[in-house]
Amino acid sequence: MIGMVQFDYIRFLYFNKEKSIRSIAKQMGIHRNTVRKAIQNPSFGYCLTQPKKKPINDAFSDRIRYLVEENQKQTKKNQCTKKKMYKDIVKEGYKGTYSAFTWQVRRMEQELNIGQSEAFLKLLPLKGSMQVDFGTMWVEEEGVRKKLFAFCAKLCYSKCEYVCVYPRESTEYFLDGLTSAFAFFGGVPKTIVFDNLTPAVKKIKQGTERILQKAFLHFKAFYCFEAVFCRPGRGNDKGLVENLVKYVRNNYFLPAPCFHSFQETSEWLHRECNQRNQTEKRDGQTWETWFLQEQTDSFLPFKEVYDCSKQIEAKVDTYQLVHVDRNRYSVPTAYVGKTVQVSLYPFSVEIHSKHATICTHPRLLSKNEERLHPYHYLSLLQKKARAYDQAKVIYDWKLPSIYETYRKLLQAHIRSSSKGTREFIEILRLTEVHGVSTIADILTDLDARNQYGLQAVVSVLRCQQEKTSGSKPLARSILAKHKLDTIALPPPSLDSYNALLKMGDCK
């Protein structure tokens, strides 16, 4: 029995490195059938020739060296500034100036190779390689500043880019951003460079070794790409996408634009990305031209879409609510007390029971909110009609005023508050099929005619459904076939009708 890590490595060697089943089995020391099963399942400055004598520093030379060495042993966040070290050594009797002290410190740092600038090599861009990262952006929503996160992806060779926005950086949004980037580029890059973000990395070990999150490991095994992770605190390891994040912030989100929805903002960003990919050039050719050269042999096929949802098991409480991600969603009354499965997608929530979907809600992106579907509660309200006036689900429904007017008149017509409410709830059930506005128009018409009751509403609906606009005349060819084209009916006489009218006038 192989583990998830071995399974991922088998598929990586076969699809990404194109190794044979025999060589993979030999390399990993496992049976070829096991391999087969895994594959089949989806600074410039002035320098003195001789340093100036610093008689004040010489007396404290050993002490300054000790302070510099000890300061270097601390973590970057806990290291003291030169200003702080100077204040401490003055308390010990140091009489020199701050500039004399810092000169001595810099000299010792050079001797100890502290703070030396890192050297870099200029690298050639690799085909089939992509860098991804999240960036914090700000927008204006109804006059209030709102923070969102831009998922940015940049191809190293062609420089083509992809950007979309999410409310958070959690796992389902991270995986959905990757899947959306694959769909946008029409393929899966063989190598993807990541920061050490929590949705992907569970623990950072020495060197390049990482312990990956289970959800990300499943995702990686599904698409068979190679994941490369940057060194902690080294943004230059993915400089292309770091620059893209800055470009997106400076060109699209400064000043903060008006925000309407995540879908609308992402679609706008997609258009901007397409325009940049088609117009920006490298060595005289557009990014899109370079991308077409790269895509042919450096991308894995994008055949299936990975289910990026977060799976949660929850129990329905007595208020017909499922508690998910610090929010609450309603289900039908029949599922009270039962355990259900919840699929938490980036912008929707699906609730299942025994592998069947029982309801779907738009995902709440704030905290401590609830989404109540009115049709989930109508059967319960029929049993507890007296709770109708205080029911939160009815208050939140915001029905047109004619509904409440008609309910009270229906109660008066039946001479029973509870019976009138129960019959009115049956009328509310009709809105699920025919729509709230259609039933509202019917209620307005019935109220004008002093007709109240479920049967009156059903009769009007039936009449509307059965009403026709008249039959169409038969074609001339059909009439000729049955020898009916020559038949002509004389116009009816209106004399009798005129006589009746005259008799009415006499009266």
Gap between the Cα atoms of 363 and 308, Å rounded: 14
Residue 495 lies in a domain: no
In 139-165, which positions are buried (b, 16+ CB within 10 angstroms) versus exposed (e)?
A: beeeeeeeebbbbbbbbbbbbbbbbbb
Residue 117 lies in a domain: no
pLDDT given for residue 7 in this prediction: 85
pLDDT digits (tens, 9 = 90+) for 246-272: 999 999 998 888 998 999 999 999 999
Instruction: Mark whether 343 and 393 lie in a shared domain.
Output: no
The average pLDDT across 7-21 equals 87
Tokens at residue 72, please?
Answer: 């270097």
Domain housing 81? 55-111
The average pLDDT across 29-49 equals 72
Nearest Cα neighbor of 193 from 178, 180, 206, 204 is: 178
Question: Is omega for the bond preceding 255 within 30 degrees of 0, making it cis?
Answer: yes
Q: Identify the residue whose tokens are 């520093």.
A: 57
The average pLDDT across 117-142 equals 79
Phi-psi region of 70 (alpha: psi -120 to 50; beta: other; left: phi over 0): alpha
Does the pLDDT at position 469 exceed 60?
A: no
Q: In this predicted model, which residue has the larger pLDDT, 57 or 312? A: 312
pLDDT given for residue 234 in this prediction: 65
Highest mean pLDDT pick, 14-18, 279-283, 400-404, 464-468: 400-404
Amino acid letter, residue 354: K
The average pLDDT across 117-135 equals 74
pLDDT given for residue 45 in this prediction: 38
Instruction: Mark whether 69 and 23 lie in a shared domain.
Output: no
Nearest Cα neighbor of 154 from 180, 136, 173, 181 is: 181
How does DSSP assign 124-176, residue by residue? PPPTTEEEEEEEEEEEEETTEEEEEEEEEEEETTT--EEEEEES--SHHHHHH
Residue 494 lies in a domain: no
Instruction: Mark whether 456 and 363 lie in a shared domain.
Output: no
Residue at which a domain ends, from 278, 300, 322: 300
Average pLDDT over the chain reads: 85
Is beta strand 129-141 parallel, antiparallel or unpaired with respect to 191-194?
A: parallel
Q: In this predicted model, which residue has the larger pLDDT, 44 or 181? A: 181
The average pLDDT across 180-185 equals 93
Residue 407 lies in a domain: yes
Tokens at residue 225, please?
Answer: 């790409």
Tokens at residue 53, please?
Answer: 């004598």
The average pLDDT across 468-475 equals 59
In the chain, % helix, strand, coil (3-state, to 5) comes to 50, 20, 35
Residue 327 lies in a domain: yes
Gap between the Cα atoms of 154 and 152, Å rounded: 7
Gap between the Cα atoms of 505 and 498, Å rounded: 11
Does the pLDDT at position 117 exceed 90?
A: no
pLDDT digits (tens, 9 = 90+) for 46-83: 445 566 665 566 677 888 888 888 888 887 767 888 88
Does the pLDDT at position 44 exceed 50?
A: no
pLDDT digits (tens, 9 = 90+) for 371-406: 999 999 999 998 999 899 999 999 999 999 999 999
Does the pLDDT at position 427 exceed 60?
A: yes
Q: Which residues contact 238 (CB under 8 A, 6 or more apart)?
A: 131, 133, 193, 194, 195, 230
Instruction: Mark whether 361 and 409 lie in a shared domain.
Output: no
**Among the ranges given (68-72, 410-414, 425-429), the one the predictor scored with the smallest mean pLDDT:** 68-72
The average pLDDT across 108-120 equals 70
Q: Which residues contact 183 (CB under 8 A, 6 or more apart)?
A: 302, 305
Instruction: Mark whether 177 and 279 lie in a shared domain.
Output: yes
Burial of 55 (0-12, 13-18, 19+ CB in 10 A): exposed
Instruction: Mark whether 422 and 456 lie in a shared domain.
Output: yes
Instruction: Mark whether 178 and 317 lie in a shared domain.
Output: no
pTM of the entire predicted model: 0.68
Check which CATH number belongs to the domain holding 337 and give it. Answer: 2.40.50
pLDDT given for residue 470 in this prediction: 53
Tokens at residue 284, please?
Answer: 């005289």
Q: Which residues contact 352 (CB under 8 A, 6 or more apart)?
A: 340, 341, 342, 343, 358
Residue 404 lies in a domain: yes
Instruction: Mark whether 326 and 436 lie in a shared domain.
Output: no
The average pLDDT across 134-147 equals 90
Residue 388 lies in a domain: yes
pLDDT given for residue 423 in this prediction: 92
pLDDT range class, residue 99, cuts 50, 70, 90: confident
The average pLDDT across 361-369 equals 91
pLDDT given for residue 46 in this prediction: 46
pLDDT given for residue 443 in this prediction: 93
Burial of 181 (0-12, 13-18, 19+ CB in 10 A): buried
Does the pLDDT at position 43 exceed 50?
A: no
Query: What residues form DSSP beta bridges with 161?
Result: 154
Residue at which a domain ends, from 248, 268, 300: 300
Instruction: Mark whether 346 and 383 lie in a shared domain.
Output: no
Number of domains into which the chain is organized = 5
Is beta strand 281-282 parallel, antiparallel or unpaired with respect to 285-286?
A: antiparallel
Does the pLDDT at position 282 exceed 80?
A: yes
Instruction: Mark whether 446 and 398 lie in a shared domain.
Output: yes
Does the pLDDT at position 468 exceed 60?
A: no
How many residues in total does the chain contain? Answer: 507
Check which CATH number belongs to the domain holding 228 and give it. Answer: 3.30.420.10
Instruction: Mark whether 237 and 350 lie in a shared domain.
Output: no
Residue 472 lies in a domain: no
Amino acid letter, residue 174: F
| Contact predicate 94/101, CB 8 Å | yes
Instruction: Mark whether 172 and 28 lie in a shared domain.
Output: no
Q: How many helices (H) and strands (E) does the chain have?
A: 20, 18
CA distances (Å), origin 355, targets 37, 312, 315: 26, 13, 16
Q: Which residues contact 65 (CB under 8 A, 6 or more apart)?
A: 108
